[in-house]
Structure formats: structure tokens, C-alpha cells
Structure 1
């Protein structure tokens, strides 16, 4: 019986403490499935400033199943993974992050569900060892996005999952230069299996996401699937005008009834002006997000520009049986890589 070809895809940026570890863990899982599958492990590096690329090239010399794409610069956390997704060649693609917060052993369960007919097998966070406040805020965002969206969204889903080749080609057909991948999967709506897991804490290195990147992807998830914010802005304008009219009528009646004693004063006027201006600024911000999305669509820039590729001339292969070691270390922190050639 012929073996099926699959792709493991891992985006990374400044992950020198993790890439060897994630490679060896994925390799160990695939070694248990060697009778059924050949595979390639595609790493796309977003122009790391540490030794990530050097370590990846060292691994690729030892294992031709490892393919590397090195971007010419940092193209961001939205565009770079999509570029690697479209560069993959497997019958299905499994996306797994470099920091090992996506458990590699779940690959076995995902492939089983795929063989049973699922087009997507998604990892859904049941719990997380990250800061409890951050996990709570994420859950509230998912609930808000669900209420605002015109489609059923997928809550507590980060992109970790398996995607059939048909799904990859459908995502490609969207032709979106700044894609919200999680929303695309919900939009496609093909048969999907959801697997619950408990997300471990990052052990090595620091997260590359900051408040801006989280805001960016959060806002992208809302504006890509909902017109509700625009409608709310219009509603706020009408509501503000109506309240202002009622207040004006009230002041007018009070002045007529208490002509000699009633004085308006400047404080209510200032409060009213600041209230109206705050509504105007919020509405402008909402409209600006939509205009910015349109502007990005019109630019239609490439997802990423490649500096180099490694091992893409080789095909799929059998998992290497023994782990790759670097300076006597198979995984974990620290790694001394001063002797590794770029």
C-alpha cells in the first residue's frame, strides 16, 4: 500500500531555543507513522535576528525532510504563515507553532480524523497555562466576535490544526492579500472535527506577540466577517442626536419656566461637546479600520518575499529515526550555536 504525503508547517521568528525541540518532537511522532505516511517539515523564518536560521540549516543538512523558507524581511504574523501554507505540497497540511504550545502528539489524532473524512481537524484550547487574565480576555474576545459575526466562528482556536489540500486551494481562491485564516476556515464550512487540548505554557524564549499584534488580528477577525460595527456607529450617531435634542428641549423649557433664576453655565456645554466628539472619534476609528482593510486589498502585495529556500528540490521522505543533536543537545535551552555556519 502506497504511503500518503503530508506537510507539517511551522512559522518561526527568533525561536533559536525552540526549533530543534519542535523538529525532534515532530520527527518522533512521524516515526511512529512511517508505515502510512511520508512527510516534509516546512519551516518559514520571518527574518529572525538570532540563530534560528543557522540552526534550521544545520537540521536541514542532517534531514532532507526539513524544508526552509527564509523571508527577506519580517512580513508579519498574518502573511508569512500563509505563504508557507501555499508552498506546501502535501495531501494535507498540519500547522504547528515553534514554541510547542501546540502539542505535536496530537498529530496522530488529527491524521486519524482526516483519514475518516474530515477536511479540517482543529485544535481547540480547553484550558491554558498562560496568565489567567490573558486567557479570560481571549475568551471574551471570541464571544464578542461570535455575536458580531455573520457566520459561526470557531472559539478558542489559534490556527493549530490539519487542513486537507482541498481546503488549502479554497483558501488560495480567496485571493486575500491580508488574510484572516481562522475566519476563512469558518467561512469555508467543510466537514470539520474539533479536538480539545490543554495548552501548555511556553518553556523557552518569549512570545513575539504584543498588544498591537493581538489588536491587529482581533480587529481583523471582526471587520472581515461583520458590518455590525459600522451599523453601531450609525446608530450611535442617531442616538446621540436624539439625546442632544431632548436635552436641548429640556433646557429650553427650564429656561422658560425659571427665566430669572435658571442659568445654563459652561460645564454642561463642555461635557456635551466632549461626549459628542468622543462618539465622532470612535465612529471615525471604526470606519478607518474598514477603509484600511479596503486599502490593503487594493495594494495586493505578495504575502512574503523569499531570501532563500533550502531542500525544496527533495521530495517527501521517511522520518529520520534518531534525533538531530546540536553541540550534544537534542532539545531545550540553552543552545550554543557559534560554530554553526549560516
Structure 2
């Protein structure tokens, strides 16, 4: 619509057949009721859902040309797909919003109002959550650890839910990173940033598809992308272990020379030392391997996602 600024709402989905229509309708109502002065588009990027989600998305797109869809060829993970969806936004600002109703709808207009005040990025940070208390406890430990050892100021309990100015979206596009870590990108490049706190809700329907290994991969990506402590820990611990081993060896040698007949080294001591050093080496090889894996993924320059189909992107906004 001529003369109106535009808000893009990006909704990633994967097996959300019970949520995708209600969340789309709820987002439309939120914008029409509280941001009526704005034009808008809703971009649903589906990560190769195996249920009825895609059929519902096609139906939504047929009913309303403001609803647009990108259907991925396969599941490209919970990082690449949302990042790619943001890069397709054509609005003056874009909001990344989850499909399961864990993000409060009223945060949409609150973030836009803060963006109107000139902030490049408005980040939504969870101060409370209705998720499992033990899970939140471990998340808190992770965030505080990675923040302490990171070279940038990592944002605690920030999932990517936020409002991004089109200038920041241009920065995201220019990075050309095949393994992007959105939370790290925001922490590193968004200097003019505003934080809004919120309480995360429970999923309305379905269950989360992010398992342990996915969380581990995301944690390692942040660790290898924004910290040097892993490699330096290997180096310093190696020097320290070598020094301690040398001292112990000298002590044993002196004792043996003084008490040649009485003192025996003993097989258990040697075995314990061997197993300890071997375990340390394996752990540090794992650390180094994670860094090398991240470097290898970035050097291959593979696309973030491969599209199977896109719907309604060729529609003229002025005719919506």
C-alpha cells in the first residue's frame, strides 16, 4: 500500500498442523487491531513438515495474498530456516515469531513501537518461562558460561524472537555465512539495540522438535564461533600437564636413585597416568574437532536452505 510502512512477520514451522492456522489468524488480528497504520506480510517458512502443515499453509496463502510461504526442500535445521526467512522479508522491519504461541502476541506491537523510536534491533528476552524448570536451569548456566568466555556480549535467554530493521537485515544478507548463529550475529553487530522482557508461554499444541543433539549443536556453534577459550584451554592445560608430569618424573627419579632397592614405581601408578593423559587428549581432540567442523562448514559455502516452492512472493503489494 503506497505511503504505508510495512511490517514483515516471519514464522518458521515444522509439523505445526494444529498451530499454523490459529497463529496466522492471531498475528493478522494483532496487526490489524494494534498496528492498523502499517501494511504487512506474513512469511511462513516451512522446514519440510511431515504432517498436514504444508496443505494448511497452501490454503492460507490461497485465502490471503498477504500470507506468503517458502517450502524448503528438506529440513535445514532450526537456525538456517528462520535466518533465511528473515532475509526474504521486504518490510521496513521484520519480526521473527514462533508458530507454537510461546511468544506473546502483544509483543509484536510493543517491539514495533520501540523500533519506531530508532532502535535497529529490538530483542525479546525471557525473564520467566513456563517450560520445564530443570531445562531453564541448564539454559541459564549455559548462557552465563558462554557470556563469560565469549568475545562478545551474548544476550541471555534470547532465542531470536525480536524486531529487525531492514538495515540490519541487509547486514545479515551481506555476511554470507552458511552456518549462521542469529543470536551471536545480533550480539556482535546490533549496537543500537533495545531489550524487552517477557514471560514465555507453554506450547498451545504439539510438542517441540528440538532434541538434545540439536541443542548440543547450537551450543557448540556458539562456542566455536564466539570463543577462543576452548583452543587456549587445550594449550594451557597441555603445558600445565607437561610441567606437572616433568616434576613428578624428576621426583620419582630422585627417589629411585636414593632408594634404589626399596622403591618401586608400580604398574597402577603408570596405568592411572596413561589413562588420565589419554582421556584428556581425547576430550581436547573433540574440542579441536568442533572448531574444525565449523570452519569446514563455512568454507564449503553451501546455501542456507534449498527452496522447494515459494507462494505469493510475486504478488504486487499495491494490489493486496
| TM-score computed with the length of structure 1 as normaliser | 0.90
Q: Which residue pairs with 1:209 in the alignment?
A: 210
Instruction: Measure the CA separation in 2 of the matches of 1:190 and 1:90.
Output: 21
Seen in structure 2, the aligned counterparts of structure 1 residues 135 and 317 have a Cα distance that, compared at 3 Å, is: farther
**Structure with the higher helix share, 1 or 2:** 2
Higher mean C-alpha displacement, 214-223 vs 255-264: 255-264
Q: Which residue pairs with 2:57 in the alignment?
A: 56
RMSD between aligned residues: 1.6
Paired residues of 1:68 and 1:311 also in contact (CA < 8 A): yes
Cα deviation, residue 267, structure 1: 0.9
Paired residues of 2:168 and 2:190 also in contact (CA < 8 A): no
Residue 253 in structure 1 maps to residue 254 in structure 2:
yes
Give every structure 1 segment of 4 or more consecutive aligned residues whose post-TM-superposition deviation is greater than 3 Å: 315-319
Residue 112 in structure 1 maps to residue 113 in structure 2:
yes
Instruction: Measure the CA separation in 2 of the matches of 1:34 and 1:63.
Output: 18
Paired residues of 1:3 and 1:35 also in contact (CA < 8 A): no
Paired residues of 2:95 and 2:164 also in contact (CA < 8 A): yes
Cα deviation, residue 253, structure 1: 2.6
Q: For 1:98-134, what per-residue CA distance to the aligned partner results, in whole angstroms no more than 9, with x for missing partners?
A: 1111112100100100111111111000011111111
3-state SS of 1:302 partner: coil
Question: Which aligned pairs between 1:71-220 and structure 2 lie closer than 5 A?
Answer: 71-220=72-221
Seen in structure 2, the aligned counterparts of structure 1 residues 313 and 273 have a Cα distance that, compared at 3 Å, is: same
Cα deviation, residue 140, structure 1: 0.7
Q: Which residue pairs with 1:328 in the alignment?
A: none
Q: Which residue pairs with 1:313 in the alignment?
A: 314
Cα deviation, residue 317, structure 1: 7.7
Instruction: Measure the CA separation in 2 of the matches of 1:98 and 1:244.
Output: 55
Higher mean C-alpha displacement, 84-93 vs 308-317: 308-317
Cα deviation, residue 318, structure 1: 11
3-state SS of 1:224 partner: helix
For structure 2, which runs of at least 5 residues remain unmatched after alignment? none
